[in-house]
Amino acid sequence: MKLIPLAAALSVILTSQAQAATVYEKDGTNLDLFGRINAMYLSDSASRHVKGSKNINKNSSDPAIQTTVYFGVAGRSQLSDNVYAIGYTEWLMPTGSNGDNSISARAQYVGIDAQQYGTLTFGRGDNAFYTVAGVTDIYQELDCQVNDHYAFGDYQPGLIMYSLSALGWDFRLSYQTAQDNVNNTNINIHNGASFAVATRLDNGIGIAYGVSYYYLQPDNNQVMAKEFSPHIQKMYNLGSSEWDLYAAYALRPTYKIDKGVSITYGTFGEGLYAAINGTVTKYNKYTHNLYSYEAVINYSFENGFSTTLGYGMKRFDGANIISDLTLGLYYKFNPNFKVFAEASFDVSSKPDRFYSNAQISRMALDRNKGLIGAEYAF
């Protein structure tokens, strides 16, 4: 679950981080510290899913207790009557239990908030298409993330992002600068762009539409081709011979386009919230498009209890390559402390129609998953 998307530039700290501590406040400048600590017991398949979605490598994925620590800093400084300088960073801290002992950045950007003229930021965060894909991103850990928006990671580096909210509409435009080894893979992006437009009606229904485009860098040494070759081999019925591998490398896609729409009702965390989105993804040289659909419904009670039910499906060439039903139960004792449990059930998916055996095993795509945990936020 993302507690702070890039759109937080408008307010620096969202209500989910209401417990942030203001450590400096003087002459129109504020500096806030915030964070959260998770401890979870995960099944072996849930452990693989969580590590796989975060690209954390670890030889063992047996059922175990895992801890995750997030820590962030947000700042806001007034430059004139209606213009503010803003900065934000959040890190995933090393714990030794998640298979990685290095600090990694999640969102990280600086920019200008010009109020009614919009916000411009530079750095790492969500691109504009997250307006569509993010409406179903509400689970603690077991988001199925079937939307191909997440193929290159849930946060994008090297972004220039502009957002404007006016007259009941929200408009976002982002440009992706060149980046290597995106999301700890061998995928290198030459450039890209995305936009999204959204509105919310008086009856609580929200509608959004977005498009994203990525142009991949030339692959002179065939390193990127290795990332795509398992998919290419399956869709073109290629074998493992030298000629087949050469053909798979030659058919590596050079660009990707996502087009999607979402519909929501209500506000997450305030009574009833429901959301659905659908995205069609085109990779050139793929034999078919990818289609993804996600739907979630959440209800938050005043006593601190909330529950979420969702379904995610990703299709390729007439097959459900991912099909997951996910349930979440949460209880918040106070604004700082909550407990949670999540379970995801495979619904007759056929991941072998698209993914390699290594990818299926790494992310436990065809397995039921479960976890229980607690979180302390500050």
> Which pLDDT score is estimated for 182?
81
Residue 226 scores a pLDDT above 70: yes
Residue 82: count of CB within 10 angstroms of its CB: 11
CATH of residue 302's domain is 2.40.160.10
At residue 25 the predicted structure's pLDDT band, cuts being 50, 70 and 90, is confident
The alpha-carbon radius of gyration of the chain (Å, integer) is 21
DSSP state of 179: B
> Which pLDDT score is estimated for 54?
53
Residue 86 scores a pLDDT above 60: yes
Residue 318: count of CB within 10 angstroms of its CB: 8
Question: Where does residue 125 rank: exposed (0-12), middle (13-18), buried (19+ CB within 10 A)?
Answer: buried
At residue 112 the predicted structure's pLDDT band, cuts being 50, 70 and 90, is very high
Say which residues have a Cβ less than 8 Å from residue 162's Cβ, sequence separation at least 6.
118, 119, 120, 172, 173, 174
Of 32, 129, 105, nearest to 75 by C-alpha is 32
> Which pLDDT score is estimated for 318?
94
Would 12 be classed as within a structural domain? yes
For residues 231 and 200, the answer to whether their CB atoms sit within 8 Å is no
Residue 107 scores a pLDDT above 80: yes
At residue 229 the predicted structure's pLDDT band, cuts being 50, 70 and 90, is confident
B/e letters for 16-48, b = 16+ CB within 10 Å, e = fewer, are bbeebeeeeeeeeebbbebbbbbbbbbbebbbb
Alpha carbon distance 92, 51 (integer Å) = 13
Q: What is the CA 286 to chain-centroid distance, rounded?
A: 24
Residue 136: count of CB within 10 angstroms of its CB: 27
What phi and psi, each to the nearest 5 degrees, are found at residue 5? Answer: -80, 175
In terms of residue numbers, what domain contains 75? 6-377
Total residue length of the chain: 378
- Summarize the confidence of residues 162-181 as an average pLDDT: 92
CA 128, 89, 9, 15 dihedral sign is: positive
Q: Degrees (nearest 5) of the Cα angle 73, 77, 80? A: 160
Q: Which of 68-72, 100-104, 126-130, 267-271 comes out lowest in average pLDDT?
A: 100-104
Alpha carbon distance 59, 62 (integer Å) = 9
Residue 98 scores a pLDDT above 60: no
Would 1 be classed as within a structural domain? no
Overall domain count for the chain: 1
User: What is the SS3 assignment for 237?
Assistant: coil
Portion of the chain with pLDDT greater than 70, in percent = 89
Q: Which of 119-133, 189-203, 240-254 comes out lowest in average pLDDT?
A: 240-254
pLDDT 10s digits, 14-23: 334 456 788 8
At residue 61, what is the residue type?
S
Q: Which of 38-52, 169-183, 188-202 comes out lowest in average pLDDT?
A: 38-52
Q: Please list the helix, strand and coil fractions of the chain in percent, rounded to the nearest 5, in that order.
A: 20, 50, 30
> Which pLDDT score is estimated for 72?
94
Would 74 be classed as within a structural domain? yes
**What is the overall mean pLDDT for the chain?**
87
pLDDT 10s digits, 254-297: 999 999 999 999 999 999 999 999 999 999 999 999 999 999 99
Can you state the angle between helices 223-235 and 242-250, rounded to 10 degrees? Answer: 100
Of 190, 199, 201, nearest to 172 by C-alpha is 199
| Residues forming beta bridges with residue 262, ordered by sequence position | 208, 277
Extract the tokens encoding 173: 């435009």
Residue 119 scores a pLDDT above 90: yes
pLDDT 10s digits, 37-80: 999 999 988 888 776 555 454 444 567 788 889 999 999 999 99
Alpha carbon distance 212, 257 (integer Å) = 6
> Which pLDDT score is estimated for 26?
84
> Which pLDDT score is estimated for 52?
58
Extract the tokens encoding 101: 């002992």
